[in-house]
C-alpha cells in the first residue's frame, strides 16, 4: 500500500498518463429505446413505489456523465422506466427536492424501489447484490451524524475499493461537499484506481478533485469560457472588477436563491465595482431562466443542464449549493464557500471604503 507522498505521486502519474493519451473514458451509449419481445437488445428495467409522492417527475442520469439526463414520470406513487443498456452503470435518481438515490444498473436486470418520500434514507432497492449492499449502507447510516456517516463511508471504500459503491460514496461524502478534503479524496481515489484501473468513471472524479485543489485562497481562478442562458459568451477574463463573485444556485434551494437576491442588492450598491456570474445547477433550464427573470438578475447565468456533471463546475471546484468564489480584478481568489452573511461582510470590507 502506498502512503503519503507516494500515493499523491502515483495518482499524479495517473493524471500525466491521461494527458498523454493512455487513459481514456469509454462513454456509455446514450440512446434510449424500449425493447420488444424477442429482441436482441439488452435493457435495464427500474420500477418503483413511493408513499407520499402521488404524482410528479424524477430526474435520472449517469454518474460522471456516463448517461444522458432523462425524466421519469411518477403517477399514483409508482413509476416504470426501461432503457437500453450494454454494460453496468451507476445511475443517480434525483427527487424534486434534489435528494438523490444511486441505482446500480446491469443489462437484462430488473430492479425494484420501495420507499417513503418523507424518509428517503430508508428506501429499499432490491434486485442485485450491489443495490442491496447500498441499501444496507443507507439504512446503517440513516441515523448517524454527518461525521459518523463520513467515517463509515471511508471504511467501506478502504475495505471495498473494487466496488462501484465506493465510487459513489467517494463522490457523495468527499467531493460533493462544502469544503472537500483534497488529500483524503486523492488517497481514497488512489485506492480505487489501483483496484479498478480500467474504470472509465474515474476520469470524471479525477477532474472534480483537480477542481477542488485549484480552489484555494491566493490561487488564480482557472480560465474558462461558457455560454449563458441567453446564448452570450462568458469568459473568466470578464471578471475584472475590484471584487467578483461566481456562485452556484438552484431554484429548489432557499439559501442559494436568497444569496442571489442579496447579490442583486450588492451589485446595485457597488455598481461598477462588483461583477457576478451565476451557475444554476437545475436540470430544468426553463425553470432556471424563469427564476432568474423573477429575481431581476442582470448578470450572466450559466446552465448547461448537466447538473453536477457540468464541466465548468468541475473545473472551478464548485460542488455544493450554494457555493461561491470571490476574486479580485486579476483573478486571484480572495475567498470561497462563504455563507450569505459572510459574503456580505467580505464585500463591505473590501468595497465600502472605496465606494464613492
Residue pLDDT, tens place only, 323-350: 999 999 999 999 988 888 898 889 888 8
The answer to whether residue 41 scores a pLDDT higher than 80 is no
Residue 28 burial (10 A CB sphere; 0-12, 13-18, 19+): buried
In the chain, pLDDT over 90 holds for what percent of residues?
43
Per the CB < 8 A criterion, the answer to whether 290 and 229 are in contact is no
C-alpha cell at 343: 459574503
pLDDT of residue 26: 29
Helix axes 146-159, 182-195, angle to 10 degrees: 30
Residue 266: which of 289, 282, 243 has the closest Cα?
Answer: 243
CA-CA distances (angstroms) from residue 166 to 91, 130, 195? 14, 11, 11
93 phi and psi angles, rounded to 5 deg: -95, 125
The answer to whether residue 356 scores a pLDDT higher than 60 is no
Q: Which residue has the higher pLDDT, 98 or 183?
A: 183
Mean pLDDT of 267-293: 87
The answer to whether residue 287 scores a pLDDT higher than 90 is no
The answer to whether residue 37 scores a pLDDT higher than 80 is no
114 phi and psi angles, rounded to 5 deg: -140, 125
Q: Which residue has the higher pLDDT, 49 or 33?
A: 49
Question: Reading across the β-sheet that carries 243-249, which strands appear in turn?
Answer: 300-302, 274-280, 243-249, 324-327, 333-336
Residue 10: pLDDT band with limits 50, 70, 90: very low
The answer to whether residue 200 scores a pLDDT higher than 80 is no
Q: Which residue has the higher pLDDT, 28 or 143?
A: 143
Tell me the per-residue pLDDT of 123-145, one tens digit each, with 9 for 90 and over. Answer: 999 999 999 999 999 999 999 99
pLDDT of residue 17: 41
Tell me the per-residue pLDDT of 221-240, one tens digit each, with 9 for 90 and over. Answer: 999 999 999 999 999 999 99
Residue 30: pLDDT band with limits 50, 70, 90: very low
Tell me the per-residue pLDDT of 60-82, one tens digit each, with 9 for 90 and over. Answer: 888 766 677 788 999 999 999 99
Per the CB < 8 A criterion, the answer to whether 67 and 91 are in contact is yes
Rounded Cα gap, residues 47 and 36, in angstroms:
18
pLDDT of residue 236: 93
The answer to whether residue 14 scores a pLDDT higher than 60 is no
Mean pLDDT of 137-163: 96
The answer to whether residue 5 scores a pLDDT higher than 50 is no
CA-CA distances (angstroms) from residue 264 to 235, 245, 274, 293, 322? 20, 12, 10, 12, 15
C-alpha cell at 169: 460514496
User: Mean pLDDT for the chain?
Assistant: 83
Residue 22: pLDDT band with limits 50, 70, 90: very low
Rounded Cα gap, residues 298 and 276, in angstroms:
9
Rounded Cα gap, residues 69 and 303, in angstroms:
14
Give the number of other Cβ atoms within 10 Å of residue 122's Cβ: 14
Amino acid at each position: 500500500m502506498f502512503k503519503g507522498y507516494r500515493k499523491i505521486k502515483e495518482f499524479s502519474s495517473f493524471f500525466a498518463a491521461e494527458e498523454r493519451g493512455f487513459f481514456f473514458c469509454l462513454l456509455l451509449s446514450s440512446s434510449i429505446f424500449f425493447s420488444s419481445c424477442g429482441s436482441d437488445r439488452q435493457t435495464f428495467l427500474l420500477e418503483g413505489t413511493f408513499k407520499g409522492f402521488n404524482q410528479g417527475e424524477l430526474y435520472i442520469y449517469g454518474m460522471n456523465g456516463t448517461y444522458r439526463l432523462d425524466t421519469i414520470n411518477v403517477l399514483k406513487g409508482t413509476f416504470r422506466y426501461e432503457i437500453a443498456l450494454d454494460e453496468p452503470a451507476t445511475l443517480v435518481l434525483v427527487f424534486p427536492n434534489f435528494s438523490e438515490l444511486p441505482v446500480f444498473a446491469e443489462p437484462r436486470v430488473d430492479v425494484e424501489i420501495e420507499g417513503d418520500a418523507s424518509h428517503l434514507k430508508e428506501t429499499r432497492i432490491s434486485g442485485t447484490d450491489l443495490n442491496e449492499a447500498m441499501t444496507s449502507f443507507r439504512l446503517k447510516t440513516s441515523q448517524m451524524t454527518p461525521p459518523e456517516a463520513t467515517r463509515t463511508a471511508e471504511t467501506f471504500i478502504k475495505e471495498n475499493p473494487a466496488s462501484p459503491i465506493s465510487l459513489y460514496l467517494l463522490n457523495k461524502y468527499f467531493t460533493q461537499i462544502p469544503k472537500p478534503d483534497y488529500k483524503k479524496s486523492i488517497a481514497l481515489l488512489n485506492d480505487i484506481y489501483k483496484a479498478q484501473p480500467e474504470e472509465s468513471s474515474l476520469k470524471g472524479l479525477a477532474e472534480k478533485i483537480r477542481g477542488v485543489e485549484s480552489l484555494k485562497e491566493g490561487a488564480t481562478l482557472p480560465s474558462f469560457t461558457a455560454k449563458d442562458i441567453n446564448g452570450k459568451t462568458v469568459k473568466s477574463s470578464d471578471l475584472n472588477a475590484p471584487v467578483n463573485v461566481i456562485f452556484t444556485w438552484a431554484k429548489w434551494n432557499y439559501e442559494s436563491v436568497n444569496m442571489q437576491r442579496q447579490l442583486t442588492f450588492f451589485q446595485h450598491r457597488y455598481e461598477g465595482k462588483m461583477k457576478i456570474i451565476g451557475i444554476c445547477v437545475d436540470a430544468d433550464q426553463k425553470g432556471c431562466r424563469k427564476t432568474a427573470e423573477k429575481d431581476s438578475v442582470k448578470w450572466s447565468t450559466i446552465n448547461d443542464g448537466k447538473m453536477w456533471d457540468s464541466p465548468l463546475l468541475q473545473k472551478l471546484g464548485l460542488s455544493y449549493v450554494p457555493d461561491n468564489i470571490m476574486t479580485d480584478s486579476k483573478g486571484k481568489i480572495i475567498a470561497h464557500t462563504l455563507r450569505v452573511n459572510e459574503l456580505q461582510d467580505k464585500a463591505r470590507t473590501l468595497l465600502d471604503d472605496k465606494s464613492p
